[in-house]
A and B are shown apart, each in its own frame.
Chain A
């Protein structure tokens, strides 16, 4: 946390310091180093996740990003999949049961 004196002396923490960057980057790379998942296994997992998601939404395969992230406080690491999609393949039903129930009183 930047104190008044830190700010006065230009030692603000608004920008990430190089020490913080070092720590953040190390924590990221060490998740990969420690789990030691071979690239072909990682690629197979990525493909399988993609196959499942593609059943429901249209996905651009090139923009999918699956990465391991260090834990944020808890002891577990995270597998984060960023999957930008364009539109759903399964068209949403116009009338879903719950909606019907809700709309009944006004109808």
Chain B
């Protein structure tokens, strides 16, 4: 059946879904994979600007579904990676313009030519989420170690199970290790305990992520960034490679380091 469809979703908005999608798409392209990304957040187009492709859009997802454009016409090729494409969301329509069956049909067509089809799901649990979920082989849930985000993630996991999809895997984003160490932020273990799903990556909170989005060049391309490293690792795990989780506790001041040295810490 060819390529694999990976849906990135979260329930709650603002947890870093689009940023994660952009980074994983580029992370997989870096590994030489043929990748197409679909922005399923119709009406709230974002993936294009995060990836630096916002000036090149002619046709969009709705144009393809409604037959005004061929799939190839709507795919924007990335300059740096010739095997990386984006199908942007429509900006002037709403989610009802696309159905789950449309998405399944589109992805079946794309599977023939790509190794990975990555879908950026909109927030929420309505039509847009159903559209993003319908064709998925693999589901990644993005959440932050905060009560509201984790609760919404749990709700989405329930809906995924009800659809006999999954099991979904978790990307825990914006982890501040200093706070985790002080007991002021839930750890990855806490969150996986609560949600009962497997972790695919922990992305540390990193100023580099915002500046990377600012310039349209996702942080996965920054070799010196820890969050970039986290996304590079997740991309490799998506290809089936067994990549050990990096130690995230090398931050903090000298005193904290000495304290950990003697106290064991976490």
| Chain A positions near chain B (C-beta within 8 angstroms) | 3-6, 8-9, 11, 13, 17-20, 22-23, 25-27, 29-30, 33-34
Residue pair B194, A3 in contact (C-beta under 8 Å): no
Residue pair B194, A26 in contact (C-beta under 8 Å): yes
Q: Taking the nearest CB of chain A, how far is it from the CB of B189, in angstroms? A: 10
| Chain B positions near chain A (C-beta within 8 angstroms) | 145-147, 150-151, 154-155, 158, 180, 182-187, 190, 193-194, 255, 259, 262-265
Residue pair A11, B183 in contact (C-beta under 8 Å): yes
Closest to A7 in B: B263
A-B contact pairs, 19 of them (CB 8 A): A3-B262, A3-B263, A3-B264, A3-B265, A4-B262, A4-B263, A5-B262, A6-B259, A19-B186, A19-B187, A19-B190, A22-B190, A23-B194, A25-B147, A30-B154, A30-B194, A33-B154, A34-B154, A34-B158
Closest to B258 in A: A5
Q: Which of B154, B183, B184, B186 has the most CB of A within 10 A?
A: B183
Bound CA span A40–B180, Å: 40
Closest to B150 in A: A26
Residue pair A19, B264 in contact (C-beta under 8 Å): no
Residue pair A23, B190 in contact (C-beta under 8 Å): yes
Q: Taking the nearest CB of chain B, how far is it from the CB of A32, in angstroms? A: 11
Residue pair B186, A23 in contact (C-beta under 8 Å): yes
Bound CA span A104–B190, Å: 60
Closest to A17 in B: B183
- Cβ 8 A contact of B259, one of A5, A27, A30, A34: A5
Residue pair A20, B263 in contact (C-beta under 8 Å): no
Residue pair B263, A33 in contact (C-beta under 8 Å): no
Residue pair A6, B186 in contact (C-beta under 8 Å): no
Q: Taking the nearest CB of chain A, how far is it from the CB of B144, in angstroms? A: 11
Bound CA span A20–B186, Å: 7
Q: Which residues of A contact B183 (CB under 8 A)?
A: 11, 13, 17-20
Bound CA span A72–B98, Å: 44
Closest to B194 in A: A26
Closest to B260 in A: A5
Bound CA span A22–B151, Å: 11
Q: Which residues of A contact B147 (CB under 8 A)?
A: 22, 25-26
Bound CA span A17–B155, Å: 25
Q: Which residues of B contact A23 (CB under 8 A)?
A: 186, 190, 193-194
User: Closest 10 A-B residue pairs measured CB to CB?
Assistant: A17-B183, A5-B263, A3-B263, A5-B259, A23-B190, A19-B186, A19-B183, A5-B262, A18-B184, A22-B147
Q: Taking the nearest CB of chain B, how far is it from the CB of A3, in angstroms? A: 4
- Cβ 8 A contact of B184, one of A9, A19, A29, A33: A19
Residue pair B151, A30 in contact (C-beta under 8 Å): yes
Bound CA span A15–B186, Å: 16
